[in-house]
């Protein structure tokens, strides 16, 4: 299928799209501020995938390679939209991950809705660090910010998320 896509076989390309579109759209929704942005990222991401497919080395997982392209595309998109971070350094960078355990009880769609309530800056750092596993150094490099800013944005994101979850849980009770 990969070779077919490299050769420009449209059927093969559609097959690849059908296989990964839903997963990658999930990635796009996590990073994008709205559906339109998510659609743009999805479209742009697949174009990049087809353009760069011949560069793929079969050393790692193909899905991981595609996912990385989509994350990078989402970050680029984010950087274009948000020219400057609204930096609000906070003292406490060490908000425990256990504070977010309450999210475990929620369905994936609800978690997504809560995460999407975060501001773009918080959401980007949260996704990159908590979900993708990037270090603050990597995040700082990719977003063009300092490590300290990345840490404080993450702490802020967690704090906001915790409050949002608590509010949501109170509403459901």
Partner 1 sequence: MQNFKNKLHDFEAHPPKETWAKISSELDNEKVIQLPGIRRRSRLLFYGLTAAASLLILLIVNVFNNSTTVPSNDKAAMVSSTQPAVNNNDSVNQNKQLLENIINTPASQKLLASNFQKNNGNQKKYITVAGPEGQPVKISPKVATLILSADNQYPPKPIWNEKIDEWQQIMLNNTTSASPAGLMDLMQSASGM
134 part of the interface to partner 1, by CB under 8 A: no
Helix, coil or strand: residue 169: helix
71 part of the interface to partner 1, by CB under 8 A: no
Rg (CA), the chain: 18
Region for residue 117 given its phi and psi (left: phi exceeds 0; alpha: psi -120 to 50; beta: otherwise)? alpha
Q: Which stretch binds partner 1 (CB under 8 A): 52-60, 70-78, 106-114, 150-158?
A: 106-114
Considering only residues 7, 54, 89, 101, which one is a binding residue for partner 1 as defined by CB under 8 A? 101
Contact (CB, 8 A) for 60 and 69:
no
100 part of the interface to partner 1, by CB under 8 A: yes
124 part of the interface to partner 1, by CB under 8 A: no
The two tokens of residue 99 are: 């504070």
Nearest-angstrom CA–CA distance, 157 and 21:
28
Which helix (H) or strand (E) is 164 found in, with range? helix 147-172
Q: Which residues contact 172 (CB under 8 A, 6 or more apart)?
A: none
Q: Which stretch binds partner 1 (CB under 8 A): 52-60, 111-119, 134-142, 147-155?
A: 111-119
Considering only residues 94, 108, 170, 173, which one is a binding residue for partner 1 as defined by CB under 8 A? 108
115 part of the interface to partner 1, by CB under 8 A: yes
Nearest-angstrom CA–CA distance, 49 and 26:
16
Interface map 17-56 toward partner 1 (x if CB under 8 A): xx--xxx-xx--xx--------x--xx--xx--xx-----
Binding stretches for partner 1 (CB under 8 A) = 8, 10, 13-14, 17-18, 21-23, 25-26, 29-30, 39, 42-43, 46-47, 50-51, 97, 100-101, 103-104, 106-109, 111-112, 115, 127, 130-131
């Amino acid at each position: 299928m990969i070779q077919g896509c490299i050769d420009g076989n449209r059927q093969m390309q559609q097959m690849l799209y059908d296989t990964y579109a839903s997963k990658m759209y999930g990635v796009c929704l996590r990073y994008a501020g709205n559906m339109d942005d998510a659609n743009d990222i999805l479209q742009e991401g697949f174009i990049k995938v087809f353009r760069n497919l011949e560069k793929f080395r079969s050393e790692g997982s193909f899905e991981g390679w595609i996912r990385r392209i989509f994350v990078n595309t989402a970050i680029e998109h984010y950087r274009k939209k948000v020219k400057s971070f609204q930096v609000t350094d906070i003292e406490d960078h060490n908000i425990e991950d256990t504070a977010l355990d309450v999210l475990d009880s929620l369905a994936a769609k609800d978690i997504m809705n809560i995460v999407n309530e975060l501001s773009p800056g918080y959401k980007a750092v949260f996704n990159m660090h908590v979900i993708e596993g990037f270090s603050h150094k990597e995040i700082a490099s990719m977003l063009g910010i300092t490590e300290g800013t990345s840490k404080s944005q993450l702490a802020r994101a967690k704090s906001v998320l915790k409050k949002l979850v608590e509010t949501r849980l109170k509403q459901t009770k």
